[in-house]
Amino acid sequence: MPIVTLLPSGHQVEVPEGTLLFDAACRAGLPVASSCSAQAVCGKCVMRVTTGADQLNPISEHEKKVLKRDHREPEERLSCMAKVQGNCSVQASYW
């Protein structure tokens, strides 16, 4: 199963392939900001992918639109849209 590393603590969580980054962080006991119940609307759940961006599902047009609306960097993903397919590491600004 893929391993997600949560930075800066370096805490690791093993999750089944297809798990959302959002859920992986919650499983690790870390809070994830959200005001849309993970419906890919609010943009608050964004995480910076530091390694393994190619181990996540491709960005959908909807996700691209939300990231662009919020002026996000290319290495950022909505954790409620990003599915883990292999090892990766991510960081949220408030961890």
Tokens of 50: 């530091």
Rounded to 5 degrees, φ, ψ at 27 are: -60, -30
Query: In the window 54-93, what residues touch ligand FES (CB under 6 A)?
Result: 78, 80
- Minimum separation from the CB atom of position 46 to ligand FES (A): 8
**One of 3, 28, 44, 87 touching ligand FES (CB under 6 A):** 44
Cα separation, 84 vs 34, whole angstroms: 19
- Minimum separation from the CB atom of position 54 to ligand FES (A): 21
Q: Does 15 bind ligand FES (CB under 6 A)?
A: no
Stretch that binds ligand FES, among 2-10, 32-40, 52-60, 84-92 (CB under 6 A): 32-40
**One of 7, 26, 30, 38 touching ligand FES (CB under 6 A):** 38
Which residues bind to ligand FES, rule: CB under 6 A? 34, 36, 38, 40-45, 78, 80
